[in-house]
Structure 1
Amino acid sequence: MALYNEEMSLDKITHHNDSLESSHLNPINEIAFGAISGMFGKVVEYPFDTVKVRLQSSSNYSISTVGCIAQTYRNEGIIRGFYQGIRAPLLGACLETAILFASYNATSHFFINHYRLKSDRELPLWTKCVSGGFAGFTASFVLTPIELVKCKLQVQNVKQSGPISTTTSSSSSSSGSPKNIYSTVIRKILANEGVSGLWSGLSSTLIREVFGTAIWFSTYEYMTQVFRERRIAKGGDENAENSDAELMFSGALAGVLFNFSTFPVDTIKSNIQTNDFDKASSSLLKVGKYICQQPGGMRNLYNGLGITLVRAAPANAIIFYVYELLKRNYG
């Protein structure tokens, strides 16, 4: 009997360890799935993001979202107006999302192994917040220089002829090849500020990404769990996957909450990266104070919020859906 119990205990331990091993990550898959999902999301959100950055960075605080869209389309067209500088952020989206998902899942699996759980479904919500925050911290160092170049290119046409007032005439910086445009912007940053200039706005990016990504992942995980528990309560299979609609809704809500909660910090970051503040006056607090002192007051911190939330829903729904789809079929 004692031998039988000992064998049973050994079987349980072996089964538990097998469960942990079966849930181990494949780093290559995580990176690839994250990169692909990030690319899809960026293509959807980029035109909206261009308008958002222009509204955030403009000194014309009375311009409306619709007015910005209309003038951008009329004076620059779709490609030059709304997709200016997309190559850098497209690469950035691949890197960022790959790092986010790989870091998040690696940290989650640390908690799974630490608490000897069978899956991430058993993890408490706070561990998912911590995992998300760590993922955002890691991604910030890659994301900052890419967003810096992106933001400068997004407002380049505007600054050539005044706030939200563009022309169709070509300039030396916009008539060259995309490769030359990027290299020109990067060379200018390096010449004026050195290598450290590529990480201008890092502090605001870190704040946005650490807190925002914690909200992003925990919201998504919480909502998918709510849908799962509701299905089980109705007598459904507890091992069944969430439906496509549930995944996309969870992703959309995660994106909206991420952007809403971090938008003032993002506005400050955009201004640091696109306006000519000297180093002494480019701190997070000083730039935030400067923005609030302009006509419109604190509302200036929320310029472009509407269009940001509009693009956040479909873009993040696609990011999470594509990631889950790839993981189900190829993970």
Structure 2
Amino acid sequence: MSSFFPSSSTLSATFGTPATATPMASSAKRSPYQARSELYGSWSVAEDAKDKASQLTAAASKEIEKASALAQSKTGAMELYSPKYYASCIFGGLMACGLTHWAVTPLDLVKCRRQVDPKLYKGNVEGWSKIMKAEGFRGLYTGGSPTFFGYSIQGALKYGGYEYFKKTYSDLAGPENAQKYKTAIFLAGSASAEFFADIGLCPLEAVKVRMQTSMPPFATGTFDGIRKIVASEGVGGLYKGLYPLWGRQIPYTMIKFASFETIVEMIYHRLPGQKSDYSKGAQTMVAFSGGYLAGILCAVGSHPADVMVSKLNANRAPGEGATTAVARIYKDIGFSGLWAGLPVRIVMIGTLTGLQWCIYDAFKIFMGFPSTGGAAPPAEEKK
């Protein structure tokens, strides 16, 4: 019977541990993932993707740092509140406003047309669909050219002017009062900046609104629109919406800047550590978040004036006084008519304001300056 079973020496040779072999306990242990790697293929792919994304992010950050250092070396040393500093703020504001306003032209187009004629479209989707059927995809960007030029000028004067007036008013108030009445300084500085910014915006806003509220558009582009308005109404025709524009934009900008500064300071106050503890990317995201929230407040506070600007540019009769036109329009639309298109404007302005602050602060950081807002009061210590 023994022939049917292996001998003890055979079993030892087959399954036993030779004397010269390294004990199992001393060999490198394999993790459960390595032992059954076929069960964890998706895990490995996800980890690889995460690693590659981290590498790409790190590489992109290095390239941005190099570009930033190169730009700063070419522009030379720039101190805060120097002429070069204000020039950088002007350029940052130009980039922040022109591109973002142009990008949301399809939203603005439907909003303006619904403000002039609420029965024209039931909603954004229907409006875009009808516009594309009648004018093609290009029709969605009707008024895009004067929008880009007008808000580039306005953004440059608004952001650059705000930095200048905020510093000027703070110096006039003195360090103690500047901190004590900082919100009042934010409001005064933004109002002063917007006063001049709207003078630059108004002619192009007039062209934009007329192009968007007339079907087919009354002009083929910015300069054609300016030429037609001047030919029929004189240069004054380009500025007939200035008072309503001030009425819309000055409160809007006051809310935009003061609420942004306050919200950003509140965000950093509730985060662990100080603002300086956070990376440049994190500070930019805080700017976007603060800007978006501020934009919602801006949209609600300035919407009635926005409706009136659209109505005046589209329906004001030649030679009709501003007060007379406003009274006539209000009689036609009533109080509820002043809030037409508000949901669309909340989405549009919230996104716009968030992106604008994000772009503006990213450019300031790129040029070696601190981002806007968030500085804790000197005497305050966070716990």
Instruction: Give the TM-score band, short-chain normalised.
Output: 0.7 to 0.9
Percent of paired sites with the same residue: 21
Q: Deviations over 1:165-216 (max 9, x none)?
A: xxxxxxxx66xxx5xx434322221122211111011110111122111111
Contact kept in structure 2, 1:148 and 1:198, CA below 8 Å: yes
Residue in 1 aligned with 2:195?
137
Contact kept in structure 2, 1:103 and 1:134, CA below 8 Å: yes
Q: Which moved more, 1:97-106 or 1:188-197?
A: 188-197
* Structure of larger gyration radius: 2
**Structure 1 pair 319/311, CA: closer, same or farther in 2 (3 Å)?**
same
- Unpaired runs of 5+ residues, structure 2, are 1-77, 370-383
Q: 1:1-331 alignment to 2 at 5 Å?
A: 22-25=79-82, 26-58=85-117, 61=119, 63-66=121-124, 67-80=126-139, 82-117=140-175, 124-157=182-215, 178=220, 181-231=221-271, 234=272, 236-241=273-278, 243-280=283-320, 282-284=321-323, 286-294=324-332, 297-330=334-367, 331=369
Q: Deviations over 1:238-285 (max 9, x none)?
A: 5345633321121112222212111111111111112252322x424x
Q: Deviations over 1:62-91 (max 9, x none)?
A: 7422333332233222222x2012112111
Structure 1 residue 293: deviation in Å?
A: 3.4
**Structure 1 pair 35/184, CA: closer, same or farther in 2 (3 Å)?**
closer
Q: AA paired with 2:225?
A: V
Matched residue count = 284
Residue in 1 aligned with 2:56?
none
* Alpha-carbon distance in structure 2 between the residues aligned to 1:64 and 1:121: 48
* Alpha-carbon distance in structure 1 between the residues aligned to 2:180 and 2:81: 15
DSSP 3-state at the match of 2:338: helix
Q: AA paired with 2:247?
A: I
Structure 1 residue 314: deviation in Å?
A: 1.5
Contact kept in structure 1, 2:146 and 2:207, CA below 8 Å: yes
**Structure 1 pair 291/70, CA: closer, same or farther in 2 (3 Å)?**
farther
* Alpha-carbon distance in structure 1 between the residues aligned to 2:169 and 2:88: 20
* Alpha-carbon distance in structure 1 between the residues aligned to 2:91 and 2:180: 26
* Alpha-carbon distance in structure 1 between the residues aligned to 2:173 and 2:318: 49
Q: AA paired with 1:290?
A: R
Q: Which moved more, 1:183-192 or 1:239-248?
A: 239-248
Structure 1 residue 56: deviation in Å?
A: 1.2
- Unpaired runs of 5+ residues, structure 1, are 1-20, 160-172
Q: Deviations over 1:146-167 (max 9, x none)?
A: 10011111123257xxxxxxxx
- What do you get for the CA RMSD once the two structures are aligned? 2.5
DSSP 3-state at the match of 1:157: coil
Give me the TM-score of the superposition, normalised by structure 2: 0.68
